[in-house]
Amino acid sequence: MLVVLITTVITPALLRWRLNQGEASEIDLDISAESEPADGWLVTKDGVIALAATPPTSASPLVLLQAAAMATDNKPGDEFLEWVAERRNRDLLWNREATTHLLQLLRVGSPRSWRLIEISGLFERTLTELAEAIHRRTSDVYELDPTHSLRFPTVEALRDVTAVASSQSDSLLLAAFLADINDGSMPVNLILQKLDLDILFAKEVEDLLNGAALLRAGVEREPHRSNERLIRDIAHGLKRPGIVERSRLLADAQGGLEPWQHAAMIDITTGVQGVLAMPELLSGENDSLADLRRRQTSELTNDEALLDRIVHAPTTYVLAHEPAELLEHARLIEPAPHGRKVRVTVEPTHTPHQYILNTACRNRRGLLSRLSGVLADEGISVVSASLATWPDNSVLDTFVVESPHPPDPVHLSRLFSQSLKGRLRPRKLALAAPQVALDNSIHPWHSVLRVSGPDQIGLLSAISYALSNAGVQVHHAVVQTKDGFADDEFEISDRVGHKIGDDRADAVRKVLQRLK
């Protein structure tokens, strides 16, 4: 116990005191600086880190990072500590070479290494945001391990796969480091900029962090819902096959997943790789799954009006449907319906008593609430719903519904048209109002609102009314009911396509409470 206390608590304090004895001075500390030896500024003698020559102050970042790497198996010598102490309060500049040494330190560093970096104040003088993020880890009053702030578990978990330096291993290693120190408030973009990284390399680090977040969000909900749409959305978010597996490695290395979640993540990754492995998708660096789907659909027709519909179709809608479906939808909505006219088609699915119901009309406030209200009145249960809106304000709503008898498209068209008249009227709820939970991590560009509660007639219409009243746009909905309990998910955004915040989610809750 005494040994642990001395090495983890007392020694760092004494070393920090020793370094801080070098007070700020106006003396030119570089007057005795020498040229860098062929083997570098530092040497080790009998387990002690020593100076091979006197470096200038400007070399401090490189010297400190090299010394920290050596400190894994050696201890700093007196001459080296004096050189560090004399420059303890001097301003320093970070550069790309320092970042290269930082990556090497991540590969070989130990708590002893990071303790030397901490007491030298290197990050405080060069990468302020990084230093603040690391400091927040040390201020956790619930963490009893004194070496916690000096360990980076995600980095350590990836040591084997990043042992050999390369562009791909470097980006994965740096992403792991940022994942370890990020508490959600760290400005990742700014830190990557200050690290003086190549633009493409910095973008890859961001892609890996976002990819790991998408994969973890996809398996962290119980029960896990892996479907073709989720895989397509993640594939579109990650875009490049090379990012997918490294994102999975990063997500897995962050820990905290159950065995079934590991298996689910592998399933998702395999599905995403399968989507992105299509040769057509890889034909261009800026190509995407949505671009491929549009091209495939365009090859099915020469009609200029239909081609224009396909080109201007929303990305999320394009990802949700196969080319043949996109073409049929374009034919339904072109030319755009006038006034309150609603075009309707009904097709059976492979599931008994289940049908795909497509509606094309002009957009207006509370459209989903109006249409779903008609379906509820007709005793038609909605399994899922998706919406696509074009720049000319025409809308295609696709419902997967369950009904004991095939819905009559002519009858529904008339009822839908009537529902578009007048003001939007809320549908009262007979049972308790549902609970609302907002998730901004699972989808690349939309918020996901989970609404759960007792199943009841007109629930989808009431929820849609609340979303419309809160200024929220619905892009896709999955409606599920089991044992009288509804568990619905809505992919949503604000009116200009951005993710929503807690204030909008609160507004939805308040409207639903008023409908009770």
In terms of domains, do 178 and 143 share one? no
pLDDT at 382 over 60: yes
Using one digit for the tens of pLDDT, what is the confidence trace for 39-84? 889 999 999 999 999 989 899 999 999 999 999 999 999 999 999 8
The verdict on 309 and 201 lying in the same domain is: no
- Boundaries of domain holding 138: 2-24+39-151
Query: Are the beta carbons of 449 and 438 closer than 8 angstroms?
Result: yes
**CATH code for the domain of 506:** 3.30.70.260
Q: In what order do the strands lie in the sheet with 42-45?
A: 42-45, 48-51, 75-76
Question: What is the pLDDT at residue 16?
Answer: 52
Q: Are residues 286 and 233 in the same domain?
A: no
- Whether residue 303 sits in one domain with residue 226: no
- Cα(105)–Cα(69) distance, rounded to whole angstroms? 5
User: How far, in Å, are 290, 476, 514 from residue 394 at the CA level?
Assistant: 20, 16, 31
130 and 265, same domain (yes or no): no
Check: CB of residue 454 under 8 Å from CB of residue 486. Answer: yes
Of 142-146, 173-177, 205-209, which range is least confident?
142-146
pLDDT at 209 over 50: yes
Residues 122 and 17 in one domain: yes
- Whether pLDDT at 175 is above 90: yes
Q: Is 191 contained in some domain? A: yes
In a domain, 239, yes or no: yes
- What is the predicted pLDDT for the residue at 9? 44
What does the chain come to in residues? 516
Residues 119 and 214 in one domain: no
How far does Cα 355 stand from its chain's mean position?
34
Identify whether 483 is part of a domain.
yes
Give CA–CA dist 323/308, Å, rounded: 14
Domain presence at residue 362 = no
Q: Is 415 a domain residue?
A: no
**Pair 47, 136 in one domain:** yes
- Inside any domain, residue 267: yes
Give the integer Cα–Cα distance in Å for 116 and 65. Answer: 9
The token pair that represents 201 in the structure block: 């390399």
Has residue 139 been placed in a domain?
A: yes
Whether 127 and 16 map to the same domain: the answer is: yes
Residue 350 covered by a domain: no
Position 276 scores a pLDDT of: 75
Same domain, yes or no: 92 and 228: no
Is the bond into 404 cis (omega within 30 degrees of 0)?
A: no
Q: How many domains does the chain have?
A: 4
Tell me how far apart the alpha carbons of residues 263 and 53 are, in angstroms, rounded to a whole number.
Answer: 54
Map residue 482 onto helix, strand or coil. strand
pLDDT of res. 28: 61
Residue 473 has pLDDT above 80, yes or no: yes
**226: nearest Cα among 252, 260, 254, 256:** 260
